[in-house]
């Protein structure tokens, strides 16, 4: 009788520990996943919302001083954009935004 009681108590203790560990670890995992997803979503949003002026400041300075929008006229900027898109390996979205910025500010 006494042995059965001890066995029961030990079983209950291990069960409680097991349930606690399981509950804690699964909660932690869910929170981490949610945070990672939220961070990725915010990053994506900011990426999509970068302006032409931002892209111009970030990319056109890499190899030479970024030329001022006033340096060339609209027709020149079209040719230069094609040329620099190839040089800088830019996406269509990036070069379109940069070109729009350069044309709007000259
Ligand atoms: C990967 C390096 C690199 C990046 C990034 C770059 N350029 Fe250039 N750029 C060059 C080189 C090299 C030249 C000299 C002409 C040549 O050899 O192609 C040049 C020349 C120019 C010229 C002179 C006219 C011409 O077409 O040759 C202009 C204007 C210019 N770049 C604007 C820009 C703008 C605007 C950006 C941003 C979209 C940019 N560049 C990004 C490398 C780069």
CA dist., res. 101 & res. 70, Å (int): 11
**What spacing in Å lies between the alpha carbon of 46 and ligand 1's midpoint?**
26
* Contacts made by residues 67-71, CB under 8 angstroms, sequence distance 24+: 69/101, 69/102, 69/103, 69/104, 69/105, 69/106, 70/105, 70/106, 71/106
The set of protein residues with a Cβ atom below 6 angstroms from ligand 1 is 59-60, 62-64, 67, 80, 83-84, 87-88, 98
Is pTM beyond 0.85 here?
no
* Domain coordinates in residue numbering, the chain: 2-45, 52-105
Per-residue pLDDT of the chain (106 residues; tens, 9 = 90+): 578 888 887 888 888 887 777 676 665 556 677 888 888 887 777 666 689 999 999 999 999 999 999 999 999 999 999 999 999 999 999 999 999 999 998 8
């Amino acid at each position: 009788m006494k042995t059965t009681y001890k066995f029961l108590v030990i079983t209950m203790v291990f069960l409680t520990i097991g349930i606690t560990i399981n509950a804690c670890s699964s909660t932690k995992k869910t929170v981490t996943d949610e945070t990672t997803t939220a961070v990725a979503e915010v990053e994506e949003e900011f990426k999509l919302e970068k302006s032409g002026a931002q892209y111009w400041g970030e990319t056109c300075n890499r190899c030479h001083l970024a030329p001022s929008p006033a340096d060339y006229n609209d027709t020149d900027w079209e040719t230069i954009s094609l040329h620099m898109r190839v040089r800088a390996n830019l996406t269509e979205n990036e070069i379109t935004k940069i070109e729009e910025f350069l044309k709007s500010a000259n």
